[in-house]
Amino acid sequence: MQATLIQVPASKEQRLTAAIAVALILCVALYVWPRSTVQAVAAPPFMPIFATSVTIAEGLTGFLLWTQYRASGRVVFAALACAYAFTTVTAAFHLAVYPGVFAPSGLLGAGRQTAIWIWLLWRAGYAVLAVLALATRKWPPIPRLGQRRLSGALMIVWSIGMSLALSLAATAARDQLPNLVSSTPSYRHLSTNPILLSVWAICLASLLIHVFVTRLRTLMDLWLAVALLAGFIDVTLTLGAGARYSLGWYAARIASMVSANAVLGMLMSETSRTYQRLADAHRALKELSVRDGLTGVFNRAYFDERYPRELALAIATGNPLSVLLVDVDHFKDYNDAFGHLAGDECLRRIAQALNTSLWRQTDFVARYGGEEFVVVLPTCDPEASLTIAERLRETIAEMELPVTRANGRHVTVSIGHASSRFHPHAQPAGLLASADAALYEAKARGRNRVENNREDGLKDSFDRRPAAVR
Phi, psi dihedrals of residue 335, rounded to the nearest 5°: -60, -45
**pLDDT confidence bin for 455, thresholds 50/70/90:** low
Whole-number pLDDT of residue 240: 85
Output the pTM of the full model. 0.71
Report which DSSP code applies to 136. Answer: T
* Residues 403-423: b if buried by 16+ CB within 10 A, e if exposed: beeeeebbbbbbbbbbbbbbb
Question: Between 398 and 187, where is the model more confident?
Answer: 398
Burial (0-12, 13-18, 19+ Cβ within 10 Å), 459: middle
Task: Give me the percent of the chain exceeding a pLDDT of 90.
Answer: 61
pLDDT of residue 458: 45
pLDDT digits (tens, 9 = 90+) for 425-449: 889 999 999 999 999 999 999 999 9
What is the average pLDDT value for the chain, to the nearest integer? 88
User: In this structure, is the dihedral angle defined by the CA atoms of residues 66, 71, 74 and 75, taken in order, positive or negative?
Assistant: positive
pLDDT of residue 193: 76
pLDDT of 226 over the 90 cut: yes
Cα gap 218→206, rounded to integer Å = 17
- Strand stretches in 62-152, DSSP E: none
Output the pLDDT for position 181. Answer: 66
How confident is the model over 56-74, as a mean pLDDT?
92
Give me the pLDDT at residue 106, please.
76
pLDDT at 146: 80
Lowest mean pLDDT across 193-197, 295-299, 336-340: 193-197
Lowest-confidence pick of 165-179, 296-310, 344-358, 368-382 = 165-179
Which residues are CB-neighbours of 127 under 8 A, at least 6 positions away?
202, 203, 205, 206, 207, 228, 231
Predicted confidence at residue 469, as pLDDT, reads: 40
Mean pLDDT of 23-41: 93
Instruction: Tell whether the model's pLDDT for residue 357 goes beyond 80.
Output: yes
Whole-number pLDDT of residue 188: 59
pLDDT of residue 191: 63
Structural domains present in the chain: 12-286 (1.20.1070), 300-469 (3.30.70.270)
Mind listing the pLDDT tens digit for each residue in 150-163? 888 999 999 999 99
Give SS3 for 407: coil
Which of 390, 385, 398, 382 minimizes the C-alpha distance to 414? Answer: 390
Q: What pLDDT shows up at residue 184?
A: 53
Q: Give the per-residue pLDDT at 461.
A: 54
Mean pLDDT along residues 398-405 = 81
Phi and psi at residue 46, to the nearest 5°? -60, -40
- With a cut of 50, say whether residue 470 has pLDDT above it: no
Give me the pLDDT at residue 406, please: 61
